[in-house]
Structure 1
């Protein structure tokens, strides 16, 4: 079947007004001065009809849950422990050298209102050389709350002192007193 250009234009002239009326467009005048009226339909976007998405959990939530569970376990079951502490602090804007310390810590324990174990702390400094072999001992309620410190290091290594844990000598290389450890 062949179509001529005239028959094609004739068919389009008949079909075009019908198609335009289906989509809401009317031709009120001849094509050269046509006025097109478009009827607008208000359609609600699909996103507005959907329920809001469930809140997304924070990425650190599983880690925080595990940390809380671990802390609860430690506070109820662990009474004493040993560990190696690697300490490096910035004091007065200067980064201090790394210190390696073996620590032994016992927590306060009461049974029926009677103290069966006092909180205590023992530190043995391994490095750097300036503090190597320094030992610190603190027992809650003993020695008037003072630290017993064997100096260690390269000078006066066997000198033993009783120091206030919050005093200048004990806090010289630390921002926190050792009694807050553990």
Structure 2
């Protein structure tokens, strides 16, 4: 059966509501995307899954207001690692780049997690994106597979110019590839997002000198794209120069049990001002374990617009 992308997304941009630190560790199947995901197996992470933990540090953390949210996040990451082989969806991306909040970008996505079979065979992490908007990049395609295509991301420019069909091979962490995004395509998707969030949350908790300056809420009847979700909200109740964020939210789909929306705000830039939106990622029309295979991550796929004969390697 053909694994088609959900191209007819509703295009509705659901403003604000969600995020936090959703994660877990690389136990069970190895779903991490090569070097872009570091298994969370250090002893400091034991507090996230084991109540029988001794030691002064763990005693200090066990009553921290962040811990319940981090434990729940860990469970979601572990589920993604263990039980989700692949997924297709529409993804809405909005990021602040060099101080400017960019327009919402919408792409149909295919994502396959890295896995290792019992015999040791590695299925590499792969991602394919086809942009649905805005018009300046509509039709753009991006393909990335770990340890393939000389570790380059393959890109067609898209948009409305005569260069829309030009196919490039870029360093996924190079200046050109990173000029329009906060994160490399090699760490795209739910799994790596929650890994980064759990690591960030653990750092915040372990170095926190003001545990009374947190507000953590679990909202059970939240909605995202008309679907029932659990929303976890984390807020810093007092501004300090060492704090890296003001508010985080994540939505976890009740039925799918995967995170479908992430949002990050920094403190207002002026006293009494509104929080500043820095990052927002929403996943709609999500279908998991659809059976993506190597053809879905092959630039010669006839459904894709890449021109193998015109691939132009780029250094940056």
User: TM-score, normalized by length of structure 1?
Assistant: 0.63
CA deviation vs aligned residue, 1:98-157 (integer Å, no higher than 9, x gap): 101111111111124533411111011111100001000011111110011111111111
| Distance in 2 separating the partners of 1:173 and 1:70 | 29
Structure 2 match to 1:166:
173
1:107 is aligned to 2:113? yes
Correspondence for 1:180 among 168, 187, 207: 187
Offset, 1:67: 2.8
1:124 is aligned to 2:139? no
Structure 2 match to 1:93:
99
Structure 2 match to 1:69:
75
Structure 2 match to 1:21:
none
Offset, 1:70: 2.1
Structure 2 match to 1:143:
149
| Distance in 2 separating the partners of 1:115 and 1:139 | 16
Larger Rg: 1
RMSD: 2.0
Q: Which has the higher contact order (CA 8 A, sep 6+)?
A: 2
| Distance in 2 separating the partners of 1:133 and 1:177 | 20
Q: How many residues align?
A: 127
Unaligned runs of 5+ residues in structure 1 are: 1-56
| Distance in 2 separating the partners of 1:167 and 1:63 | 34
CA deviation vs aligned residue, 1:31-66 (integer Å, no higher than 9, x gap): xxxxxxxxxxxxxxxxxxxxxxxxxx7776655443
Give the match's secondary structure for 2:168: strand
| Distance in 2 separating the partners of 1:73 and 1:79 | 10
| Distance in 1 separating the partners of 2:172 and 2:152 | 6
